[in-house]
Structure 1
């Protein structure tokens, strides 16, 4: 990787391949794999990630909204794409772009069916989501008979899979709850397939589910955060490689005296002579104000430099006292040698948030495998 000259998010496709192969090693060879690439592929580069996953032979991709799926189709992606949270206003686009919606309520089911009929579809692929305890989206167990009756009668649509989502797969203290969810899903899927007389794919496991509940892999698994290098567990993180590395440079160095202040609202007051560095990224780039005032740090020449004062829109200031550095030197916010999970923990949040927050104005650099 060459030296950067501006704030850059480097995306390492060899790390992505490593993570995919690691997660695949945890499931049976015949089990299908769905890669979640929503939210710009967890803040990285959705097209580059999707193309690499397609090259690796992934069976499905998943996005949150139709627009994301359309962007992938525009980029030439042919792999089936599941839209996890389709909205009625996008149903025409979903069909026009050959995307596959998750239908999660009677209202959504009827609305999509109406569009499918208007477009003269026959056996259009879609997926049925059941709520087993996350209480976010999904049909309830009591809806099985209704769903089965609709699918028997309506020929415009065809169910490719039935699925659900674990609420706490990473937390083994919630194992009994997760097992209850799995058992409920088994009951729902067996009931529905019996009534349909057919066997759609089933999938329930997310990244932590693959690690902790591989016995419930059914016909397909889904992974998002694990593909990007984080497994919600330090032991698993050690087996994965962060895909994204956020780097920036030192714009200016200041020498301040005791009792001088730094930044907006004079949030930091020096208690001695200090050396500070200003870096060109801020809350408009995804480094929220919660990371300021010592809650997080960057690495400069291998040494930790805490963020001081309030995070600005386009800049942060860090304490580089005792660090041999100069203007133009590189600073690592997170990446291969500094976990995004660790960066996030200082502000009492999670890797998902910092990764997906990185602004689209930050330059992306693809490191090909």
Structure 2
């Protein structure tokens, strides 16, 4: 099928390239966890996970249990970690062989009750320590009580110990990051000593993989890097953005000097001009922050700046000096004009842009050389 309308083109060959690059930064003995939460950062949960399973990743991570269930329903047999499991769907973990992160005493009590009711023995869980991100996680002073609870039962077994770096991409925060690494090392050592066995230890995200090889431990986790962004310009040439967001010109119109365009008359023409209408709006993930000239798109290789407010289903761009017609292709972002650059122009990050592309934008999967 030839897709000519608005679509997100996902290059699975670029995904494999990024995985291999990140894998090259770790030792052969270090496990690799691919983070595919939020629909694989907007690229499509199942096709991305299927490709990464073919590539040989050791683990998947998702945010919520329903994402893990969707993976299991579509043939993913690789271990899956749920980073932010919720009390109401913990039973699904056991039914689908999904490993939850235990991030509080209350979560441990809840999951223990489910595992006991299901007559589980040594069901695998991961403990998350709060080492400075201050989001979720077990604080150091809580650890003794948690370990005591675990050692009094045999329904659960700690398979992994983890934490999350807060600023691994910011080299001005090296001291803080190293403190996080040292704290995690200390807590993990204590936990393994009390439990009496070794666990899979993991703390590094994409930037941690690149900037803190001393903290790779037994496993690393990567999200944004897999999709082509390294959080650092010095690494960007090593990554290939996986997604290309494209649309088409649906209409070319003219306007006279002094007339206005879009809601609230948000652009007034300072001269006679021509503009194109693009069938993509904030209902699709083209955020309103890109209005008022906040972004360029590319039509026939030339940059066209947005005009006025981004509408829910469409937006307008200035094509006064760009020959174009209905049906011409529009590139919102691609490898050359990537999502990170587009996001930075308006003060947001690539994550916000790529994860915001809504489900009504079709995903088209290709495998082209990179």
TM-score under structure 2 length normalisation: 0.98
Residue 335 of structure 1 corresponds to 334
SS of the aligned residue for 1:283 comes to: coil
Mapped partners of 1:348, 1:31: distance in 2 = 35
Contact 1:344 1:351 in 2 (8 A): yes
RMSD, aligned CA: 1.0
- The corresponding residue for 2:59 is 60
Per the alignment, in what secondary structure is the counterpart of residue 359 of structure 1?
Answer: coil
Write the distance in 2 (CA, Å) between the matches of 1:292 and 1:154. 57
Alignment of 1:276-295 (within 5 A): 276-295=275-294
Cα drift, residue 84 of structure 1: 0.3
1:304-319 equivalences in 2 (<5 Å): 304-319=303-318
In the alignment, which residue of structure 2 is the partner of 1:165?
Answer: 164
Matched positions, count: 368
SS where residue 72 of structure 1 aligns?
Answer: helix
Aligned partner of residue 284 in structure 1, secondary structure: coil
CA 1:334–1:3: 2 relative to 1, 3 Å: farther
- Which consecutive residues of structure 2, in runs of 5 or more, have no partner in the other structure? none
Alignment of 1:175-190 (within 5 A): 175-190=174-189
- Equivalent residue of 1:290, what SS? helix
SS in 2 for 1:314: coil
Structure 2: distance between partners of 1:94 and 1:296:
43
Note the residue ranges of structure 1 that are not aligned, 5 or more in a row.
none
1:28 Cα offset (Å): 0.6
1:360, distance to aligned residue in structure 2 (A) = 0.3
1:310-351 CA distances to partner (integer Å, 9 max, x unpaired)? 000000101112112111000111122211011112221000
CA distances 1:34-56 after superposition (whole Å, capped 9, x unpaired): 00000000001110110011001
Answer yes or no: is the 8 Å Cα contact 1:203–1:221 preserved in 2: yes
Q: Would you say 1:70 and 2:69 are equivalent positions?
A: yes
Separation of aligned partners in 1, 2:87 and 2:79: 20
Contact 1:289 1:311 in 2 (8 A): yes
Residue 10 (structure 1) aligned with residue 9 (structure 2):
yes
Contact 1:19 1:226 in 2 (8 A): yes
User: 1:4–1:248: 8 Å Cα contact kept in structure 2?
Assistant: no
- Counterpart in the other structure of 1:123: 122
CA–CA distance in structure 2, aligned partners of residues 267 and 74 of structure 1? 47
Tell me what 1:274 maps to.
273
Q: Distance in 1 between matches of 2:307 and 2:129?
A: 46
Q: Secondary structure at the match of 2:16?
A: helix
Cα displacement (A) at 1:3: 6.4
1:231 aligned counterpart, secondary structure: coil
Residues 100-119 of structure 1: matches in 2 within 5 Å?
100-119=99-118
Aligned partner of 2:79 in structure 1 is: 80
Q: Is the contact made by 1:291 and 1:346 (CA closer than 8 Å) also made in structure 2?
A: no
In structure 1, distance between residues paired with 2:134 and 2:78: 29
Secondary structure of 1:366's counterpart equals strand
SS of corresponding position for 1:285: coil
Within 5 Å, which residues of 2 pair with 1:141-290? 141-290=140-289
Aligned-residue offset at 1:101: 0.2
Q: Residues of 1 paired with 2:183 and 2:110: CA distance? A: 27
Shift of 1:302: 1.2
TM-score (normalised: structure 1): 0.98
Listed one character per residue, the Cα deviations across residues 39-82 of structure 1 (whole Å, up to 9, x for unaligned) are 00000111011001100110000000000000101101000000
Q: Secondary structure at the match of 1:127?
A: strand
Match of 2:322 in 1: 323
Counterparts of 2:5 and 2:268, CA distance in 1: 28
1:350 has 2:315 as partner: no
* Distance (Å, rounded) in 2 between the aligned partners of 1:192 and 1:157: 15
